[in-house]
Protein backbone atom coordinates (compact mmCIF):
# COMPACT_ATOMS: atom_id res chain seq x y z
CA UNK A 1 0.00 0.00 0.00
CA UNK A 2 2.79 2.45 0.86
CA UNK A 3 4.39 1.88 -2.55
CA UNK A 4 1.12 2.49 -4.40
CA UNK A 5 0.42 5.71 -2.51
CA UNK A 6 4.01 6.86 -2.93
CA UNK A 7 3.55 6.61 -6.70
CA UNK A 8 0.40 8.71 -6.46
CA UNK A 9 2.25 11.24 -4.32
CA UNK A 10 5.14 11.54 -6.77
CA UNK A 11 2.82 11.75 -9.76
CA UNK A 12 1.18 14.80 -8.28
CA UNK A 13 4.56 16.18 -8.99
CA UNK A 14 9.90 15.52 -6.01
CA UNK A 15 19.72 24.01 11.91
CA UNK A 16 18.51 24.28 15.35
CA UNK A 17 14.80 24.86 15.45
CA UNK A 18 12.66 26.22 18.23
CA UNK A 19 9.33 24.54 18.95
CA UNK A 20 6.17 26.57 18.61
CA UNK A 21 3.43 24.00 18.17
CA UNK A 22 -0.09 25.22 17.69
CA UNK A 23 0.81 28.70 16.43
CA UNK A 24 0.19 30.25 13.01
CA UNK A 25 3.32 30.33 10.88
CA UNK A 26 5.00 33.00 8.80
CA UNK A 27 5.25 36.71 9.34
CA UNK A 28 2.27 38.96 9.92
CA UNK A 29 2.79 40.36 6.41
CA UNK A 30 2.19 36.96 4.80
CA UNK A 31 -1.23 35.38 4.43
CA UNK A 32 -1.19 31.58 4.47
CA UNK A 33 -3.52 29.61 2.20
CA UNK A 34 -4.80 27.63 5.20
CA UNK A 35 -5.18 28.71 8.82
CA UNK A 36 -4.34 26.62 11.86
CA UNK A 37 -7.24 24.91 13.62
CA UNK A 38 -8.28 22.69 16.48
CA UNK A 39 -7.26 19.52 14.60
CA UNK A 40 -3.83 20.60 13.27
CA UNK A 41 -2.97 22.11 16.67
CA UNK A 42 -3.20 18.62 18.20
CA UNK A 43 -0.48 17.18 15.96
CA UNK A 44 3.07 16.90 17.30
CA UNK A 45 6.23 15.35 15.86
CA UNK A 46 9.46 15.11 17.83
CA UNK A 47 11.61 13.21 15.33
CA UNK A 48 14.69 14.82 13.82
CA UNK A 49 14.06 17.33 11.05
CA UNK A 50 14.53 15.69 7.66
CA UNK A 51 13.96 12.21 9.09
CA UNK A 52 11.01 10.15 10.37
CA UNK A 53 8.93 12.83 12.14
CA UNK A 54 7.42 10.38 14.70
CA UNK A 55 4.04 12.08 14.52
CA UNK A 56 1.60 11.86 17.40
CA UNK A 57 -2.04 12.95 17.64
CA UNK A 58 -5.26 11.72 19.26
CA UNK A 59 -7.23 9.28 17.12
CA UNK A 60 -9.54 9.54 15.41
CA UNK A 61 -8.61 13.07 14.37
CA UNK A 62 -11.23 14.86 12.29
CA UNK A 63 -10.98 18.04 10.23
CA UNK A 64 -13.79 19.46 8.09
CA UNK A 65 -11.37 21.69 6.18
CA UNK A 66 -7.62 21.81 5.60
CA UNK A 67 -5.76 23.17 8.63
CA UNK A 68 -2.04 23.88 8.99
CA UNK A 69 0.00 24.51 12.16
CA UNK A 70 3.71 24.93 12.76
CA UNK A 71 5.52 22.25 14.75
CA UNK A 72 9.01 23.73 14.38
CA UNK A 73 9.78 27.16 12.93
CA UNK A 74 13.04 28.32 11.37
CA UNK A 75 14.14 31.90 10.86
CA UNK A 76 14.05 33.35 7.38
CA UNK A 77 11.81 34.95 4.81
CA UNK A 78 8.31 33.46 4.46
CA UNK A 79 7.64 31.48 1.32
CA UNK A 80 5.21 33.15 -1.06
CA UNK A 81 2.98 32.23 -3.99
CA UNK A 82 4.95 31.70 -7.17
CA UNK A 83 7.93 30.05 -5.53
CA UNK A 84 8.93 26.40 -5.82
CA UNK A 85 9.54 24.34 -2.67
CA UNK A 86 11.43 21.09 -1.94
CA UNK A 87 10.41 19.05 1.09
CA UNK A 88 10.13 15.65 2.73
CA UNK A 89 6.69 14.41 3.73
CA UNK A 90 4.91 11.73 5.74
CA UNK A 91 1.19 11.00 5.28
CA UNK A 92 -0.77 9.24 8.01
CA UNK A 93 -4.31 7.93 8.43
CA UNK A 94 -5.92 10.29 10.94
CA UNK A 95 -8.30 7.60 12.17
CA UNK A 96 -5.62 5.27 13.53
CA UNK A 97 -2.18 6.92 13.15
CA UNK A 98 -0.99 4.46 10.51
CA UNK A 99 1.69 5.74 8.10
CA UNK A 100 0.23 5.52 4.59
CA UNK A 101 3.20 6.78 2.61
CA UNK A 102 6.32 8.90 2.97
CA UNK A 103 9.02 10.43 0.83
CA UNK A 104 12.56 9.06 0.85
CA UNK A 105 13.95 11.53 3.42
CA UNK A 106 17.03 11.60 1.22
CA UNK A 107 18.05 15.28 0.85
CA UNK A 108 18.98 14.57 -2.77
CA UNK A 109 15.47 13.23 -3.54
CA UNK A 110 12.93 15.73 -2.25
CA UNK A 111 9.31 16.12 -3.28
CA UNK A 112 8.97 19.31 -5.33
CA UNK A 113 5.87 21.45 -5.72
CA UNK A 114 4.82 24.92 -6.78
CA UNK A 115 3.55 26.76 -3.72
CA UNK A 116 0.54 27.98 -5.67
CA UNK A 117 -1.10 26.95 -7.85
CA UNK A 118 -0.48 23.39 -6.71
CA UNK A 119 -1.70 20.04 -7.96
CA UNK A 120 -2.57 19.17 -4.36
CA UNK A 121 -2.37 20.78 -0.92
CA UNK A 122 1.31 19.91 -0.51
CA UNK A 123 2.63 23.08 -2.10
CA UNK A 124 -0.02 25.33 -0.65
CA UNK A 125 0.52 24.28 2.98
CA UNK A 126 4.04 25.73 2.84
CA UNK A 127 2.97 29.27 1.99
CA UNK A 128 4.21 31.70 4.69
CA UNK A 129 6.41 29.02 6.28
CA UNK A 130 10.21 29.21 6.11
CA UNK A 131 12.93 26.88 4.87
CA UNK A 132 13.93 24.59 7.74
CA UNK A 133 10.44 24.53 9.25
CA UNK A 134 8.21 21.56 9.97
CA UNK A 135 4.46 22.01 9.49
CA UNK A 136 1.54 19.75 10.34
CA UNK A 137 -1.57 19.52 8.21
CA UNK A 138 -4.96 17.96 8.76
CA UNK A 139 -6.65 17.58 5.38
CA UNK A 140 -8.93 15.32 3.38
CA UNK A 141 -8.08 12.43 1.09
CA UNK A 142 -9.68 14.40 -1.75
CA UNK A 143 -7.42 17.41 -1.17
CA UNK A 144 -4.33 15.23 -0.99
CA UNK A 145 -4.91 12.59 -3.68
CA UNK A 146 -7.65 14.11 -5.83
CA UNK A 147 -10.01 11.67 -7.51
CA UNK A 148 -7.73 8.65 -7.02
CA UNK A 149 -9.85 5.73 -5.81
CA UNK A 150 -8.40 4.60 -2.48
CA UNK A 151 -11.34 2.46 -1.39
CA UNK A 152 -9.06 -0.59 -1.38
CA UNK A 153 -7.29 1.08 1.53
CA UNK A 154 -10.59 1.77 3.31
CA UNK A 155 -10.23 5.48 2.59
CA UNK A 156 -12.99 7.70 1.22
CA UNK A 157 -12.60 11.16 -0.27
CA UNK A 158 -13.91 12.78 2.94
CA UNK A 159 -11.62 10.93 5.36
CA UNK A 160 -9.00 12.96 7.22
CA UNK A 161 -5.25 12.59 6.71
CA UNK A 162 -2.38 13.95 8.81
CA UNK A 163 0.54 15.26 6.77
CA UNK A 164 3.94 16.27 8.19
CA UNK A 165 6.08 18.41 5.87
CA UNK A 166 9.76 19.25 6.47
CA UNK A 167 10.64 22.20 4.22
CA UNK A 168 14.09 21.55 2.79
CA UNK A 169 14.63 24.32 0.22
CA UNK A 170 12.87 26.91 -1.89
CA UNK A 171 13.54 28.50 -5.26
CA UNK A 172 12.24 31.14 -7.62
CA UNK A 173 9.22 30.15 -9.69
CA UNK A 174 10.49 32.01 -12.77
CA UNK A 175 13.45 34.16 -13.78
CA UNK A 176 13.26 37.57 -12.12
CA UNK A 177 16.29 39.27 -13.67
CA UNK A 178 16.44 42.54 -15.57
CA UNK A 179 15.27 42.34 -19.20
CA UNK A 180 18.09 42.59 -21.74
CA UNK A 181 18.00 43.89 -25.30
CA UNK A 182 17.22 41.21 -27.90
CA UNK A 183 20.01 40.26 -30.29
CA UNK A 184 19.62 39.93 -34.05
CA UNK A 185 19.61 36.45 -35.54
CA UNK A 186 18.14 34.75 -32.49
CA UNK A 187 14.60 33.39 -32.24
CA UNK A 188 12.11 35.87 -30.82
CA UNK A 189 10.77 34.93 -27.39
CA UNK A 190 7.47 35.93 -25.81
CA UNK A 191 6.40 34.98 -22.30
CA UNK A 192 3.04 33.76 -21.03
CA UNK A 193 1.76 35.26 -17.76
CA UNK A 194 3.28 32.36 -15.81
CA UNK A 195 6.68 32.84 -17.47
CA UNK A 196 6.49 29.99 -19.98
CA UNK A 197 8.27 30.98 -23.23
CA UNK A 198 6.89 30.98 -26.74
CA UNK A 199 9.13 30.93 -29.82
CA UNK A 200 9.20 32.66 -33.20
CA UNK A 201 12.05 31.14 -35.21
CA UNK A 202 13.65 32.96 -38.17
CA UNK A 203 12.69 31.57 -41.57
CA UNK A 204 16.24 30.66 -42.48
CA UNK A 205 18.72 27.83 -42.17
CA UNK A 206 19.79 26.85 -38.68
CA UNK A 207 23.06 28.44 -37.55
CA UNK A 208 26.12 26.23 -37.45
CA UNK A 209 27.73 27.91 -34.45
CA UNK A 210 26.66 27.84 -30.78
CA UNK A 211 24.65 30.99 -30.00
CA UNK A 212 23.96 32.13 -26.45
CA UNK A 213 22.29 35.28 -25.14
CA UNK A 214 20.94 36.52 -21.83
CA UNK A 215 17.25 37.46 -21.93
CA UNK A 216 17.00 38.38 -18.24
CA UNK A 217 20.07 39.16 -16.14
CA UNK A 218 19.76 37.80 -12.62
CA UNK A 219 21.57 38.94 -9.50
CA UNK A 220 21.71 35.70 -7.51
CA UNK A 221 24.48 33.18 -6.92
CA UNK A 222 26.69 32.18 -9.84
CA UNK A 223 26.20 28.66 -11.17
CA UNK A 224 29.57 26.97 -10.93
CA UNK A 225 30.76 23.82 -12.65
CA UNK A 226 29.41 20.81 -10.75
CA UNK A 227 26.50 22.67 -9.11
CA UNK A 228 23.00 21.22 -9.25
CA UNK A 229 20.94 23.99 -10.83
CA UNK A 230 17.16 24.17 -10.58
CA UNK A 231 15.86 25.02 -14.04
CA UNK A 232 12.60 25.70 -15.87
CA UNK A 233 13.13 25.10 -19.59
CA UNK A 234 11.56 24.60 -22.97
CA UNK A 235 13.39 22.90 -25.83
CA UNK A 236 12.41 23.40 -29.48
CA UNK A 237 13.74 21.91 -32.73
CA UNK A 238 14.84 24.61 -35.19
CA UNK A 239 13.81 22.75 -38.37
CA UNK A 240 10.33 21.58 -37.29
CA UNK A 241 9.50 24.43 -34.88
CA UNK A 242 8.19 21.79 -32.44
CA UNK A 243 8.66 21.54 -28.68
CA UNK A 244 10.49 18.32 -27.84
CA UNK A 245 10.64 18.77 -24.06
CA UNK A 246 9.43 21.25 -21.46
CA UNK A 247 9.46 21.34 -17.68
CA UNK A 248 6.63 23.88 -17.92
CA UNK A 249 4.42 21.16 -19.37
CA UNK A 250 5.17 18.98 -16.34
CA UNK A 251 4.35 21.78 -13.94
CA UNK A 252 7.57 21.88 -11.88
CA UNK A 253 11.21 22.73 -12.64
CA UNK A 254 13.96 20.13 -12.87
CA UNK A 255 17.46 19.85 -11.45
CA UNK A 256 20.38 19.69 -13.89
CA UNK A 257 24.01 18.93 -13.09
CA UNK A 258 26.07 21.86 -14.37
CA UNK A 259 28.59 19.73 -16.19
CA UNK A 260 29.00 18.76 -19.83
CA UNK A 261 27.93 15.22 -20.64
CA UNK A 262 31.37 14.88 -22.22
CA UNK A 263 32.79 15.23 -18.69
CA UNK A 264 30.09 13.42 -16.72
CA UNK A 265 27.35 11.22 -18.23
CA UNK A 266 24.90 12.75 -15.73
CA UNK A 267 25.57 16.23 -17.09
CA UNK A 268 23.83 18.16 -19.85
CA UNK A 269 24.73 18.45 -23.52
CA UNK A 270 27.88 20.56 -24.07
CA UNK A 271 26.06 23.56 -25.54
CA UNK A 272 23.62 23.73 -22.62
CA UNK A 273 26.50 23.43 -20.14
CA UNK A 274 28.32 26.34 -21.78
CA UNK A 275 25.18 28.49 -21.62
CA UNK A 276 24.50 27.59 -17.96
CA UNK A 277 27.85 27.62 -16.17
CA UNK A 278 28.85 31.10 -15.01
CA UNK A 279 25.34 32.56 -15.14
CA UNK A 280 23.47 33.89 -12.11
CA UNK A 281 20.34 32.66 -10.41
CA UNK A 282 17.40 34.73 -11.65
CA UNK A 283 18.70 34.81 -15.23
CA UNK A 284 16.86 33.61 -18.31
CA UNK A 285 18.99 32.26 -21.12
CA UNK A 286 18.41 31.58 -24.82
CA UNK A 287 20.78 29.13 -26.49
CA UNK A 288 20.83 27.71 -30.01
CA UNK A 289 22.71 24.40 -30.04
CA UNK A 290 23.91 22.95 -33.36
CA UNK A 291 24.51 19.18 -33.56
CA UNK A 292 28.22 19.54 -32.76
CA UNK A 293 27.31 20.83 -29.27
CA UNK A 294 24.25 18.64 -28.76
CA UNK A 295 23.64 14.93 -28.36
CA UNK A 296 26.13 12.48 -29.79
CA UNK A 297 24.63 10.40 -32.63
CA UNK A 298 22.29 7.78 -31.23
CA UNK A 299 22.43 9.24 -27.70
CA UNK A 300 19.53 11.70 -27.77
CA UNK A 301 15.92 11.06 -26.81
CA UNK A 302 13.53 9.81 -29.47
CA UNK A 303 12.10 13.33 -29.78
CA UNK A 304 15.47 14.72 -30.95
CA UNK A 305 16.69 13.20 -34.23
CA UNK A 306 20.39 12.93 -34.96
CA UNK A 307 21.73 16.12 -36.53
CA UNK A 308 19.00 18.35 -35.07
CA UNK A 309 19.63 21.93 -34.01
CA UNK A 310 18.02 22.59 -30.64
CA UNK A 311 16.82 25.84 -29.11
CA UNK A 312 16.45 26.21 -25.35
CA UNK A 313 15.04 28.96 -23.22
CA UNK A 314 15.76 28.27 -19.58
CA UNK A 315 15.25 30.10 -16.29
CA UNK A 316 17.85 29.60 -13.54
CA UNK A 317 15.75 29.37 -10.37
CA UNK A 318 18.30 28.32 -7.78
CA UNK A 319 21.12 26.00 -6.78
CA UNK A 320 20.07 22.84 -4.98
The 10s digit of each residue's pLDDT in 228-258 is 999 999 999 999 999 999 999 998 999 999 9
Q: How large is the average pLDDT for residues 177-194?
A: 94
Global pTM reads: 0.89
Say what the pLDDT of residue 52 is: 95
Q: What are the pLDDT digits (tens) for 14-66?
A: 322 222 333 334 445 799 999 999 999 999 999 999 999 999 999 999 999 99
Using DSSP bridges, classify how beta strands 267-268 and 254-260 pair: parallel, antiparallel or unpaired: parallel
Q: Is the confidence at residue 1, as pLDDT, over 80?
A: no
- Please state, in angstroms and as integers, the Cα–Cα distance from residue 40 to each residue in 34, 43, 68, following that order: 11, 5, 6
Using DSSP bridges, classify how beta strands 67-73 and 18-23 pair: parallel, antiparallel or unpaired: antiparallel
Say what the pLDDT of residue 23 is: 33
From the list 87, 99, 77, the residue with the least C-alpha distance to 135 is 87
Pairwise CA distance, residues 192 & 227, whole Å = 29
Kindly report which listed range (4-13, 19-28, 132-141) carries the lowest average pLDDT score: 19-28
Torsion sign (Cα): 133, 139, 143, 148: positive
Q: Any residues with CB less than 8 A from the CB of 96 and at least 6 apart, and which?
A: 59, 60
Kindly report which listed range (42-46, 123-127, 129-133, 147-151) carries the lowest average pLDDT score: 147-151
Say what the pLDDT of residue 25 is: 40
Q: Is the confidence at residue 128, as pLDDT, over 60?
A: yes
The structural domains of the chain, ordered by start, are: 2-171 (3.10.50.40), 178-319 (3.10.50.40)
Amino acid sequence: MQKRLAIVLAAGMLVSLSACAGTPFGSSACTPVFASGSASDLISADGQFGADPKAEFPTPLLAEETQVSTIEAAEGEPLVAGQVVDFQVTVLNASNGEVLTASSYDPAQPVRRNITPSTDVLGEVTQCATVGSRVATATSVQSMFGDTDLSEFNLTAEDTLVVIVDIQNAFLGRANGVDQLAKAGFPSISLAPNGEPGFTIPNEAAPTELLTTVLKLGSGAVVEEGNEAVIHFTGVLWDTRTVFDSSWDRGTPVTFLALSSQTDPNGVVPGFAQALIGQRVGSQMLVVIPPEFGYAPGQGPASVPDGATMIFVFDILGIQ
